[in-house]
Amino acid sequence: MKRITILIPAYNEEQVLNKLYTRLQGVLAGLSKYRFEILFINDGSKDRTLEIIKELKRKDARVSYINLSRNYGKEIAMIAGLDYATGDAVVIIDADLQDPPELIPQMIAYWEEGYDDVYAKRRSRQGETWLKKSTSKLFYRCLQKLSNIPIQEDTGDFRLLDRRCVEALKQLRETQRYTKGMFSWIGFKKKELLFDREPRAAGQTKWNYFKLCDLAIEGITCFTITPLRFSSFLGALISLFAFIYMIVVMVKTIVYGDPVQGYPSLMVIILFLGGIQLLSLGIIGEYIGRIFNECKRRPLYFVDEYNGKKIPARQLVYE
């Protein structure tokens, strides 16, 4: 019998976990051909999330959980889940019921047809503001242009991954993770499913614009060094203009003599160049920061507890 892991990262989700479990159970009941593992990753929740998960585990042997040592963020929670998942396939799903579990049977059907990565694409985004939708669109367009990997627009982390993809993702151990891009980067046979994304069932989204901005920079710097090239290009262009302007100034001085003038233009040029220099430094800084973070080679996370067992800090399941 094939085994499928349902991977659910959860951070402060006490209000929705029971609802999620009920709906999931309904869906899984119709799939008697498979064995399931419902793997919760408690990402350092400060509410009753962990207790609820433990309660569910007592009721249902299919439930297992990892309790991370603190809040690491969803990206890390996901890789932790992939490290611990035991299934032949893994379905990653949000705890807040924005990803309908009812799609899982269809994902499994495609998986059986031989697809390795069946991802759910949002047909609509209810409960999200116009601003979020349009900035998201703009970001994907930029990312697409800058990096050469086709990154699926309007696609979240809700997807089924074959064991091969899971093993591939487990080898990408960078600390600053942009998982959405990694799914594309690893390749394999992909299949798209369309669905209507519902608003959050209850509770609060953990995202704000500051974090989204961070994620956007992450997305770009993780996958492409085009911004570095952009600053070289800008530098070259400005040097060219400066050279031409120099000749203009020289000719003017020689031919017409030079009454001292041009304070405004001088000021503008200095400020403009200063801005460009700082921008370029910032771009370089982004990448240096990334090198700094990666070269520390820290483990991605520590697990406090796996199914009730305390995990020693040095013991990494993945290796």
Q: How far is the CB of 204 from ligand UDP (least distance, A)?
A: 7
Q: Out of 5, 24, 39, 43, name the contact with ligand UDP by CB under 6 A.
A: 43
Number of residues that bind ligand UDP (CB under 6 A): 16
Residue 73 binding result from Mg ion, ligand UDP, none, given CB thresholds of 5 to 8 Å by partner type = ligand UDP
Contact between 157 and Mg ion (CB under 5 A)?
no
Contact between 219 and ligand UDP (CB under 6 A)?
no
Q: Which is nearer to ligand UDP, 125 or 164 (CB)?
A: 125
Using CB under 6 A as the binding rule, the residues of this chain from 55 to 74 that contact ligand UDP are 71, 73-74
Q: Which is nearer to Mg ion, 37 or 96 (CB)?
A: 96
Q: Which is nearer to Mg ion, 5 or 12 (CB)?
A: 12
Q: How far is the CB of 10 from ligand UDP (least distance, A)?
A: 4
Q: Which is nearer to ligand UDP, 115 or 177 (CB)?
A: 177
Contact between 37 and ligand UDP (CB under 6 A)?
no
Using CB under 6 A as the binding rule, the residues of this chain from 245 to 304 that contact ligand UDP are none
Contact between 15 and Mg ion (CB under 5 A)?
no
Q: Which is nearer to ligand UDP, 46 or 145 (CB)?
A: 46
Q: Out of 15, 45, 98, 147, name the contact with Mg ion by CB under 5 A.
A: 98
If you write DSSP's letter for every residue of the chain in order, what string do you get? -EEEEEEEEESS-TTTHHHHHHHHHHHHHT-TTEEEEEEEEE-S-SSTHHHHHHHHHHH-TTEEEEEESS---HHHHHHHHHHH--SSEEEE--TTSSS-GGGHHHHHHHHHTT-SEEEEEEEEETT--HHHHHHHHHHHHHHHHHSSS---TTEEEEEEEEHHHHHHHHT---SS--HHHHHHHH---EEEEEEEEPPPSSS--S--HHHHHHHHHHHHHHH--HHHHHHHHHHHHHHHHHHHHHHHHHHHHHHH---S--HHHHHHHHHHHHHHHHHHHHHHHHHHHHHHHHHT---S--EEEETTEE--TT--S--
Contact between 125 and ligand UDP (CB under 6 A)?
no
